[in-house]
Amino acid sequence: MDPGAALNEFQLVRRFFDRAPNRAVLGVGDDAALLRPDAGLELAVTTDMLVEGRHFAPGADARALGHKALAVNLSDLAAMGAAPRSVLLSLGLPSAEEAWLAPFAAGFFSLAERFGVDLVGGDTTRSSLRTINVVALGEVPAGLALYRSGARAGDDVWVSGELGGAALALRRPEITQVAKRLHEPEPRVELGERLRGLAHSAIDVSDGLAGDLMHILERSQVAATVEYERIPRPGVFSKVPELERECVLSGGDDYELLFTAAPAQRAALEKLAAELGLALTRVGAIHAGAPRLAVRDAAGKPVEHGGGYDHFREPR
């Protein structure tokens, strides 16, 4: 791009991020957007930030980043059982590079359009590190949101899709079969909505099964047992067995849904899996007791696990 023709802040927003909303009363361009919530719905609001050097490498693919910045937020809404409606996008960028902005916007809007999500505003500022923040708003019928605190003794523990692929891709970029799991995760939007009234509790797996299940256990004040062999994982782990356990139990970034439900819902959940074309696997059970996660192997022996990822504790 010719540096003499660099876009200013307002041209940048108009060119790449100003699209007519489907549902919002007013989108990008004024001092605030206007939304009209339907009666009887609760608004779920969440935000997630991606920072260069922390969450992605300086040379990371811009289109994939646009997808991922939105996907991680839609995943949080899905984990609440909320349908995504509107998002705000704030960008810190070293310069107005069209060669980065065009693919970033393409990745972002292709996912937004798939779920009918309006981009209704944001902020744009210069910053030495690329920083991407999304705020997402979703709707859920009053009283039907899925809380982390809803797990009950006797519940089954379920997980969607496969776990460990994203963490494997981070450690072994040359294993291309799992690259998409890390760079372009699929938020389980339909599943989240369909779990309303079926699941007792839910969380999305962003920091690893062990750590994220512990969040449910702590919020619900219950214990859990997970059978390691039942956890669904990509077949490619057979080539790198030494990485399997850590990635499957403690690897982050998969953005699958982990949820608990009464055993009476097993048939309904199996039917739902078939309808969505998405594996739903029962991996364990909730018990009465202080928050504690026991993972066991096929012989019933305890499997060690290091918990989940924590930005202020463990090196990644």
Whether the CB-CB separation of 194 and 279 falls below 8 Å is answered with: no
The phi and psi torsions of 2 (rounded to 5 degrees) equal -75, 115
Q: Smallest distance, Å, CB 96 to ligand ADP? A: 11
Q: Which does 121 bind (CB under 5 to 8 A by kind): ligand ADP, Mg ion, none?
A: ligand ADP
Axis crossing angle, helix 241-250 with helix 209-220, rounded to the nearest 10: 30
Q: Which is nearer to ligand ADP, 52 or 204 (CB)?
A: 52
Q: Smallest distance, Å, CB 123 to ligand ADP? A: 5
Q: Which does 169 bind (CB under 5 to 8 A by kind): ligand ADP, Mg ion, none?
A: none
Q: Smallest distance, Å, CB 216 to ligand ADP? A: 34
d(CA 190, CA 250): 25
Q: Smallest distance, Å, CB 88 to Mg ion? A: 11
Q: Smallest distance, Å, CB 73 to Mg ion? A: 20
Q: DSSP string spanning 175-237?
A: -GGGHHHHHS----HHHHHHTTTT-SEEEE-SS-HHHHHHHHHHHHT-EEEEEGGGS---GGG
The verdict on 30 binding Mg ion (CB under 5 A) reads no
Whether the CB-CB separation of 180 and 280 falls below 8 Å is answered with: no
d(CA 32, CA 198): 37
Whether the CB-CB separation of 96 and 225 falls below 8 Å is answered with: no
Q: Smallest distance, Å, CB 124 to ligand ADP? A: 4
The phi and psi torsions of 8 (rounded to 5 degrees) equal -85, 175
Q: How far, in Å, are 14, 125, 128, 309 from residue 131 at the CA level?
A: 19, 10, 9, 21
| Binding range to Mg ion, per CB under 5 A, among 78-86, 119-127, 141-149, 269-277 | 119-127
Q: Which is nearer to ligand ADP, 29 or 116 (CB)?
A: 29
The closest residue (CB) to Mg ion is 123
275 CB neighbour count, 10 Å cutoff:
10
Q: Judged by CB under 5 A, which of 9, 30, 123, 275 binds Mg ion?
A: 123
| Binding range to Mg ion, per CB under 5 A, among 100-108, 115-123, 185-193, 216-224 | 115-123
CB proximity list for 256: less than 8 A, separation 6 or greater: 159, 160, 161, 162, 163, 188, 204, 205
Q: What residues numbered 108-137 form the site for ligand ADP, per CB under 6 A?
A: 119, 121-124
Q: Smallest distance, Å, CB 139 to ligand ADP? A: 21
Size of the site for ligand ADP (CB under 6 A): 13
Q: What residues numbered 90-109 form the site for ligand ADP, per CB under 6 A?
A: 91
Q: Which residues bind Mg ion (CB under 5 A)?
A: 123
Q: Which residues bind ligand ADP (CB under 6 A)?
A: 13, 17, 28-31, 89, 91, 119, 121-124
